[in-house]
Structure 1
């Protein structure tokens, strides 16, 4: 199983989602990666606040580097989780057929929450990263329970 986490810049939400899910699955059976719908931060480490938040929970995401989502990612991944509706729509626009579009899901659809958007904490304070971590941890726990 190959899973891709996608947000806008691939430095805040999707690196956290990748690290969290990797910590919950057998990585010899489940491959997890992340990307961004923009190439703003291509090649960069995750945001220091994401790194710090992950580290607080025993997860190291410093080996990750930002990359842009490409249409060819549909060929490699079985499931593509978007962090919000805007990213979801951007990914769907790149799908080449209905089978590819069916791979794309909102990560919070895994939960029974009303709000389906993981808020972008980039312009907020450290508490925003903590809140995002908790949302993603809950969603990734459910994803992992289906995979393990």
Structure 2
């Protein structure tokens, strides 16, 4: 699968989707990547637990601010990764032309929803991040040519 661009989507675009975006930026630096929310906290910063994870993991997200997903945004990406089945359903209803490009971030790791850690404990943030990391790693292993990036083989 040759994909050059990925949009990561969650609810508020301040916790899960920016972490997924940061992982892809770090591990596949030549890939076009962005994130957005279906009910975005527009202009919002990442909560402290998410920002701490990003800093610890070397994800360049200091300047991240929440943004709302739009039709032009969706149309400019080849693959859209969502964190929950309900987000996929919403996007497919609102933007049916993008239906074939929208998948769960956890598609290759069991297809379960990744819990929204917003306003929950640091442990929940860590658990959500671990699931995002696993999902992104599996996507990148399938998207990148052999021998490229952190998750390539060869």
| TM-score > 0.5 by shorter chain | yes
Partner of 2:106: 108
Are 1:51 and 1:60, in contact at CA under 8 Å, matched by a contact in 2? no
Are 1:3 and 1:77, in contact at CA under 8 Å, matched by a contact in 2? yes
Q: 2:135 aligns with which of 118, 139, 144?
A: 139
Is 1:58 matched with 2:54? no
Residues in 1 aligned to 2:101 and 2:11: alpha-carbon distance in whole angstroms: 18
Structure 2: gaps of 5 or more residues:
149-154
Query: Aligned pairs, how many?
Result: 141
TM-score under structure 1 length normalisation: 0.89
Residues in 2 aligned to 1:22 and 1:8: alpha-carbon distance in whole angstroms: 20
RMSD (CA atoms): 1.4
Q: Show the 5 A alignment for 1:1-148.
A: 1-25=4-28, 27-28=29-30, 30-39=31-40, 41-97=41-97, 100-111=98-109, 113=110, 116-146=112-142, 147=144, 148=148
TM-score under structure 2 length normalisation: 0.85
